[in-house]
Chains A and B, each alone.
Chain A
Amino acid sequence: MDYFLEIFWGGLTRGSIYALIALGYTMVYGILELINFAHGEIYMIGAFTALIVSTALAMAGMKGLTVFILASVLAVIYASAYGFTVEKIAYKPLRQAPRLSPLISAIGMSIFLQNYVLLAQTSDFLPFPGLIPEFTFMQPYAHIIGSTEMVIISTTALIMLLLTVFIKFTRMGKAMRATAQDRNMAMLVGIDINKVISSTFILGSALAAVGGVLIASHIGRINFYIGFIAGIKAFTAAVLGGIGSIPGAVLGGLVLGWTESFATGYVSSDYEDVFAFAFLVLILIFRPSGLVGRKTIQKV
């Protein structure tokens, strides 16, 4: 039973991170019908910012939870600025272009950001400090779930809650939902589409940055390439849950995390990805629009 629980919590940790990143994909897709391939890179930039900030703060003599919070906040701000800029540079000029053009632009942006960090920072792996402190009250359970895992899971849960409140009850949240339903109609009723789109990118990037900081302090190392695999996995999670749907992204992330974790725990980690993607194919055969996605009428 202990073993089952360990694998369960491991999968939940992994799934939470996928969910955080998947939200960015799904929100952008919901509004623009664009797969923002540069999203994984925003996650990586978030992690790098946190590393730089925390190193600077550590040199200034600060430690513990303050560093973690300050580094996270700055990472979120910086990554959001990147998300905002990427949209303005790479997607906005192409809003009226055929749908393939922004997609190619997104791939280009992803490659650009990777190489930019590679040149500006380093190609080597960098150690990432364990920003999340080891709580003493967690010590008896450390063999099942560590402090880091617990912080990751609870942070994600809190963010999901805040996001739901934001989408459901605030003005901007309502505007986002309206834009997702019908962009032209939203424009007609006086919603500033550009503002909504920018806010979506900022929000998605902020979530990705949180994910980046959390996972980097969990596995303890980063390089310019970490965004690629995380991005692919999160994109898979978004599709699994039903791209465009916010609860879908969360569910998809968790399901993907658990599938991988249990595949490793009970079969073999050699087949981790095989199980994850086989599961995706199965879901898409029986539910083409994902776990909770609803069928949309193709706009021709």
Chain B
Amino acid sequence: MKTRFSNKLFFALTFGVFLACAFSINALAADTIKLGVAGVHTGDLASYGIPSVRAAGLVIKEVNAKGGILGRKIELLVEDDACKPEIATNTATKLISMHVNVVVGHICSGATKASLGIYKTGNVIVISPSATNPELTKSGRYPNFFRTIAPDDAQARLEVNFAINVLKVKKIAVLHDKGDYGKGLAEYAKKFVEQSKKARVVLYEGVSPGAVDYSAVVQKIKRSQADAIIFGGYHPEASSVVIQMRKKNMNTYFISDDGVKDDTFIKVAGKYAEGVYATGPKDVSKNPLAIAAIEAHKKTYGSAPGAFFLNAYAATQALLNAMQKAGSTNYMAIGKALRTYDVNTPLGKIRFDKLGDAIGVGFSMYQVRRGVYTEVK
């Protein structure tokens, strides 16, 4: 029984190798530009990765229909990394061995980080639609890395800049809800305020989620004489703090994040929500390119696209545009083109900065005015 099983396995393997060889020979013969899409396509997190594959596929179909770029057709190579760093290194190695020119991916920050060194050695440009870990770009270690999503600290940076430069406050209280998301943001906000040297953090505290009363912490804010509060967390705690502050006749500015930029916040806090600031993703729903991309997805797949679809769409467009502008698939040339030329995408007109973050992508400041979040221009 055992020998028969291993025989079968042997045959299956041999067949697999033949098949793989046949494919790669075909691919080489065609002389295409190879665009890899790496990310999580199986398991629990597959819903984060699949939309990117579809986005890249849709862009490529459209470009190939017009004859491709640089006179060559574009070929899509899809590889799964299961969101695991240890698999992501294999994924990267495999894509490089398949002579990939550029890569859209990976999806998870951890997997992206693990694979970037391999792409760097292989001289491959990578654009992630979803890896938000700030260090990926800020460390400067990966000149081959770009992304079409704002990093995790972008909201904190926007909040702090807004407080200091627009509201011109000097004393800032930084609060959070002790959760990963809220505390992470609050830590960045605190760091940015301290670095700016134009304002001081007068209070840094976590509030207990679900507590029956927030008056003690509100009194503490009052005593700290803060002019503005930067709150990291979600709307339930934010609404309680805001309601109690306003009831105690405090007019301190309240600035928060996209966890608070939610209509439930306005519903719960009611009239007390008026004037609260919150950052939120830039609104792209009116962008004609975004509407067209979503329509294309609906036509092909019969449903609305999932997470990071537009980011991946923009990433693919940016890569193809850069190759077109650079006139080659040379690593240095593509990198330079990405940093130099604007490209029209569903996320708006974007370009990349020195470190690889997209300029023109990310968050805007909103304020509650007459019961709705309105973008602050």
Tell me the nearest residue of chain B to A134, going by C-beta: B247
Cβ contact of B208, chosen from A125, A230, A273, cutoff 8 A = A273
B240 touching A124, Cβ below 8 Å? no
Q: In the complex the two chains form, is A272's CB within 8 Å of B268's CB?
A: no
Contact of B249 among A126, A142, A221, A223 (CB under 8 A): A142
CB distance from A15 to the nearest CB of B (A): 10
Partner of A219, one of B178, B214, B235: B214
A11 touches B216 (CB 8 A): yes
Query: Do the beta carbons of B210 and A225 come within 8 Å of each other?
Result: yes
A129 to chain B minimum Cβ distance, whole angstroms, is 8
With A270-B178, A273-B208 as contacts: A6 and B219 at CB distance below 8 Å: yes
Residues of B within 8 A of A9 (CB): 215
A261 lies within 8 A of chain B by Cβ? yes
- C-alpha spacing A9/B216, complex, angstroms: 9
- With A146-B248, A220-B240 known as contacts, the answer to whether A229 contacts B211 (CB < 8 A) is yes
Name the CB-closest residue of A to B223: A3
Shortest A6–chain B CB gap in Å is 4
Residues in B whose Cβ lies below 8 Å from that of A220:
239-240, 243, 268-270
Contact between B219 and A269, CB atoms less than 8 A apart: no
* Residues of B222-265 contacting chain A, CB below 8 A: 222-223, 235-236, 239-240, 243-244, 247-249, 264
- Please tell me if the beta carbons of B264 and A125 are within 8 angstroms of each other in the complex: yes
A209-226 contact mask (Cβ, 8 Å, vs B): 1 or 0: 000000100111101011
At the interface, yes or no: B213 with Cβ under 8 Å from chain A?
A: yes
Question: Is residue A149 contacting chain B, with contact meaning CB distance below 8 A?
Answer: yes
* A-B CB contacts (within 8 Å), total count: 98
Q: Is B114 interfacial (CB 8 A cutoff)?
A: no
Complex CA–CA separation, A7 to B235 (angstroms) = 24
Chain B CB within 8 A of A295 CB: no
Q: Is A26 an interface residue (CB 8 A)?
A: no
- Chain B residues whose C-beta falls within 8 Å of the C-beta of A268 in the assembled complex: 205-206
Interface size on B, residues (CB 8 A): 31
For B223, B248, B268, B269, the residue with the greatest tally of chain A CB atoms inside 10 Å of its CB is: B268
Distance of B190 from chain A, by nearest CB (Å): 14
Interface size class of A (residues with CB under 8 A): 35 or more
Q: Does B212 contact A (CB under 8 A)?
A: yes
Kindly report which residue of chain A lies nearest to residue B220, judged by CB atoms: A265
Beyond A14-B212, A226-B210, A265-B219, whether A127 also contacts B268 by CB under 8 A is yes
User: By the criterion CB–CB under 8 Å, are A264 and B217 in contact?
Assistant: yes
A22 CB to closest chain B CB (Å) equals 12
Interface residues of A in 1-51 (CB under 8 A from B): 3, 6-7, 9-11, 13-14, 17-18
The residue of chain A having its C-beta at the shortest distance from the C-beta of B240 within the complex is A219
Closest Cβ of chain A to B71, distance in Å, is 55
Central interface residue in A11, A225, A264, by most chain B CB within 10 Å: A264
B236 CB contacts on chain A under 8 angstroms = 125, 221, 223
Q: Indicate whether A269 sits within 8 Å of B216 (C-beta atoms), given known contacts A142-B248, A146-B247, A219-B243.
A: yes
A260 at the B interface (CB under 8 A): yes
Query: Which residue of the partner chain A has the closest CB to B207?
Result: A269
Mostly, the A contact residues are helix
Q: Is the CB of A124 within 8 A of B264?
A: yes
A260 and B216 in contact, given A125-B236, A143-B248 (Cβ under 8 angstroms): yes
Contacts of B215 in A (CB 8 A): 6, 9-10, 13-14, 149, 261
Residue from the list A218, A226, A228, A273 in contact with B213, Cβ < 8 A: A218
Q: What residues of A have a CB within 8 angstroms of the CB of B268 in the complex?
A: 125-127, 220-221
Name the residue of chain A whose CB is nearest to the CB of B267.
A127
Instruction: Identify which of A125, A228, A264, A269 contacts B235 (C-beta below 8 A).
Output: A125
Query: Is the CB–CB distance between B178 and A215 below 8 Å?
Result: no
Chain B's closest residue to A5 (CB) is: B219
Q: How far is the CA of A143 from the CA of B221 in the complex (A)?
A: 13
Is there contact, CB below 8 Å, between A13 and B213?
A: yes
- Cα(A265)–Cα(B203), bound, Å: 12
Q: Using Cβ atoms and an 8 Å threshold, which residues of chain A touch B264? A: 124-125
Report A-chain residues with C-beta under 8 Å of the C-beta of B235.
125
Interface residues of A in 114-146 (CB under 8 A from B): 124-127, 134, 142-143, 146
Q: How many angstroms between the C-alpha atoms of A85 and B124 in the bound complex?
A: 68
Please provide the chain A residues from 248 to 271 with a CB less than 8 Å away from any CB of chain B in the complex: 260-262, 264-265, 268-270
Task: Name A230's closest neighbour in chain B (CB-CB).
Answer: B212
Chain B residue with Cβ nearest A219: B240
Q: Is the CB of B205 within 8 A of A142?
A: no
A134 to chain B, nearest CB (A): 8
Whether A272 contacts B208 in the complex (CB less than 8 A), given A125-B236, A126-B268, A260-B216, comes out as yes
Going nearest first, the 8 A-B pairs with the smallest beta carbon separation are A10-B215, A264-B216, A229-B210, A127-B268, A14-B213, A6-B219, A270-B206, A261-B216
A residues with a Cβ closer than 8 A to B are 3, 6-7, 9-11, 13-14, 17-18, 124-127, 134, 142-143, 146, 148-149, 215, 218-221, 223, 225-226, 228-230, 233, 260-262, 264-265, 268-270, 272-273
Could you write out 5 A-B pairs with CB less than 8 Å apart? A9-B215, A127-B270, A142-B248, A219-B212, A233-B212
Given A14-B215, A134-B247, A264-B216; 13 other pairs, CB 8 A cutoff = A6-B219, A10-B216, A13-B215, A124-B264, A125-B236, A143-B249, A149-B215, A219-B213, A219-B243, A220-B269, A233-B212, A265-B219, A268-B206
